[in-house]
Structure formats: structure tokens, C-alpha cells
Amino acid sequence: MAAVLALALASTVLAASAATAPADAASRRPPKPHAWFTSWAASQQGLAPTPLRDQSVRMITHLSQGGDALRIRVQNTFGRTPLTVDAATVAPSSGEDAATTGRPRPVTFDGRRRVVVPAGGEVWSDPAALRTAAQDDVAVSLSVTGTVLPGRHESAFRTNYLTPSGAGDHTADASGTAFTETTGSTYLVSAVDVRNPRLRGSLVAYGSSVVDGTGSTNCGPNCSRPGANLRWADDLARRITSELPATRQFAVANAGIGGTTSAATCPGIGAPVRGLDAAARLERDVLALHGVTGVLYYYGTNDLPAGCDAAQILASYHEVFARLRAAGIKVYVTPITPRPGYTDQHNRDRHTVGMFVSKWNDCAGTCDGVLPFDRVLADPVRPNSINPSYDTGDGVHANIAGQQALADIVSLPMLAASARR
């Protein structure tokens, strides 16, 4: 019996090593357990308005941490027909245009360059031998055959690139000249993992538009500072890299979708985001990512104007927090942040939710810590409004300075406590 168990264990280890083996001969040692962490994400929320037709896309992804190899997730979650990817590559990028700053490396799926992703499905690639560092930009290029409406994350807050319809496969091009069309969305690719056994976890920012990045391109009147990668989650990732020791490094992935709510039961949820509430997309956008040790939960600002009361919001909190903690993931929560359109009843409900989040500093024992974003953003004179120095002008979203202020208030020792090892 012992011999059988030993043989089974050995077979399992060998199978796992083969499944994650890198393409380069210099790195053929079996990876350590728990070596993969999601370093970038963009949650899909629907389909693009126009189809892809025998053309290539080049999406620029910004890594919060690097590693000695990476892999990508391609989603067809909202697709109505199969998605055929004939070729895929990854390459270092300056983040400034469609050109790559190094040779594109081929990406395979179960050993093959071509993959068909069924309608409603997704695939993760094999490891690709590309060494990266924290804050690197990586160009992910995919060649799509046939005609298909691609899944997308609507607001990338950066420019991504496409070839014209019928242009075929340009994934191996280092030059960006074939990518003559641009989009402000992220198509097809929804996550990038890095292999880095020194990381202690991946933290997922989860919520609506302030997580997604609305406001992060706004630096005030007469200001032309570029806005890419200036969301509070990006700022937090840079703080982690520079302020935490090498033995306490974490990746940060962004799973925000603008307009979404925590609760599914708010009567005023708009059709474009219906079905994208926190519980409905939790498996796909958080639990299916890799190495996740903590979630930064920023929800509730849309629930109140969408008609939810405190009881509905708290019911959704309890459900989501319980699922996360059952998965061994720590949960850090912000009270609902200011909004000038709140009615008196909204403020009563907001107060109830805020008291729950703040109780014992751990959501009455259902979460693991509090992010005091409400206090950071509040105008000290008009507490229903955002501090004017942080306001984009809509009273709801934080500008670049406000995004940095949110990142600066986060306790890094608190987050470091989420490490699994």
C-alpha cells in the first residue's frame, strides 16, 4: 500500500512539473509550489461593439510584480460563438505605442499555438519564457481567425491596438506599424500571471468605478500629466515594491468594473452591469486568479443610488466575505465613500454600513481590516462631498492626487499579514 501511495505521489508531482515547465532550457527545474501569482487583471464585462475579422490585437498590460515566466488568460465568457486564436505572443513594451521593445515570444495553449475558446469559456496559456520586473509593461498580442465579437473590459484607461480587419497574423511583429487602429478597451486577455516563488501573495482590488480607474487620468485644470497606471491600486503596488522588504512582496491585480454594485437586488441597476454584482462575478474575477491572499473591497457607492438599503448591502457583504474567507483569503473593506447626491435615507443607510465595517475594526468579525477611504476623500466642511483637491468635478470620483491619497492610507503591515507562508 505504501508503495502504491508513493508511486501515485510521484506521478502527481511529475505531472504538475510537466504542466508548468517553461519553454527555455535554462529554467527546467521544477517550479516551487505556489509559484504563480496574478500580477495584472482586467475583468471582462461584456462584448465589444464591433467584431474582429481575421485580425490581430495588441493589448498593453502593466505588471505589478515580475517573474521568470508568465502566462495569460484569454476569455470568451460573454461570447456567443467560439473564439479561434491562431497565434499569441508576449513581449516587453514601453507602454507608449504598439511597438515592442524586445522580440515577441510565442505563447502556446496545451502545447499548441492555436486554441479554440468555446462560447462562455476561457483558457490559460502555458508558461512563456519572458523575464519581467515589477512595473514592467508587457504587450500581449493575439491573432483571431474568422469573425467574432470579442469580450472586453470597457475602460482600460490607456491605449490598446488592433490591425485592420483582414490583416491576419501580426503577433510576431516587433514593429507596431501594422497596428493602425486603437481602442480604449482591453480585448480578450483578462489576466497575466507571473512565476515568482519569492512573492507572498496577490492582492485583488475589487469594486466599482473608483477601483476600475475612473478619475485616474484627471490631474486638474491646465494639467497634461499622462494618466496610465495611476489608479490607487497601481499606486499601492508601487508602495509595496518600494516600502516592503523583499521577503514581503505582493502582486496587485485590479478587478474593478465601473457602475457595478455589491448587491444583486438593487432595483435601479442598469442593464449594462446587471449580473455583474460582487457575488455573481466573484468566482471568475477573484477566486479563479492565482495566489490570491487578500481582497481590497470597495463597494457600496453605487448600491445606494441604485435603490438598495443597508440590509441588502450588508447581506451581500456577508455572502461575499464568507466565500472569500472560506477560500483562505483575507478581506479588507472600505466604508461607503461620500457622494453629494445621497438623500437623508441614503446617509442613514451609509451610516449603518459604515458602523458595521468599523465595528471592532474587522466588520464585526467578518472581515480582516478596514481601509478608511471614506475619511480620506471626505470634504471636512461638506461631508457628503469629496475634498475639492481630490475631486474630478463630479463629486464621486477621485483625481490623480486623490488616487494617491487612497493608496497612501493603506496599512502595508496589515496587508502583509495576508501572506500564506
Task: Convert the pLDDT of each residue in 218-254 to its tens digit.
Answer: 987 777 766 689 999 999 999 999 999 999 999 999 9
Q: Does pLDDT of 328 surpass 80?
A: yes
- Domain membership of residue 13 (yes or no) is no
Number of domains in the chain: 2
- Domain membership of residue 406 (yes or no) is yes
Answer yes or no: do 244 and 338 share one domain: yes
Answer yes or no: do 383 and 234 share one domain: yes
Last residue of some domain: 192, 214, 232? 192
Task: Convert the pLDDT of each residue in 75-86 to its tens digit.
Answer: 999 999 999 999
Residue 420: what pLDDT?
77
Answer yes or no: do 118 and 204 share one domain: no
- Domain membership of residue 3 (yes or no) is no
CATH, residue 255? 3.40.50.1110
Answer yes or no: do 56 and 114 share one domain: yes
Q: Does pLDDT of 281 surpass 90?
A: yes
Answer yes or no: do 180 and 221 share one domain: no
Answer yes or no: do 128 and 225 share one domain: no
Q: Which of 293-307, 359-373, 383-397 has the lowest mean pLDDT?
A: 383-397
- Domain membership of residue 6 (yes or no) is no
Q: Does pLDDT of 382 surpass 80?
A: yes
Q: Does pLDDT of 212 surpass 50?
A: yes
- Domain membership of residue 185 (yes or no) is yes
Answer yes or no: do 315 and 406 share one domain: yes
- Domain membership of residue 292 (yes or no) is yes
Answer yes or no: do 251 and 381 share one domain: yes
Task: Convert the pLDDT of each residue in 139-163 to its tens digit.
Answer: 999 999 999 999 999 999 999 999 9
Q: What is the pTM of this model?
A: 0.91
Residue 297: what pLDDT?
98
Looking at the chain, the whole-number percentage of residues with pLDDT higher than 70 is 91
Answer yes or no: do 223 and 366 share one domain: yes
| φ and ψ at residue 11, rounded to 5 degrees | -65, -40
Residue 171: what pLDDT?
98
- Domain membership of residue 2 (yes or no) is no
Task: Convert the pLDDT of each residue in 95-118 to its tens digit.
Answer: 999 999 999 999 999 999 999 999
Domain that holds residue 57: 37-192
Answer yes or no: do 46 and 184 share one domain: yes
Task: Convert the pLDDT of each residue in 64-73 to its tens digit.
Answer: 999 999 999 9
Answer yes or no: do 135 and 59 share one domain: yes
Answer yes or no: do 280 and 411 share one domain: yes
- Domain membership of residue 135 (yes or no) is yes
Q: Does pLDDT of 20 surpass 50?
A: no
Q: Does pLDDT of 294 surpass 60?
A: yes
Q: Given phi > 0 = left and psi -120 to 50 = alpha, else beta, which region is 93?
A: beta
Last residue of some domain: 172, 192, 212? 192
Last residue of some domain: 129, 157, 192? 192
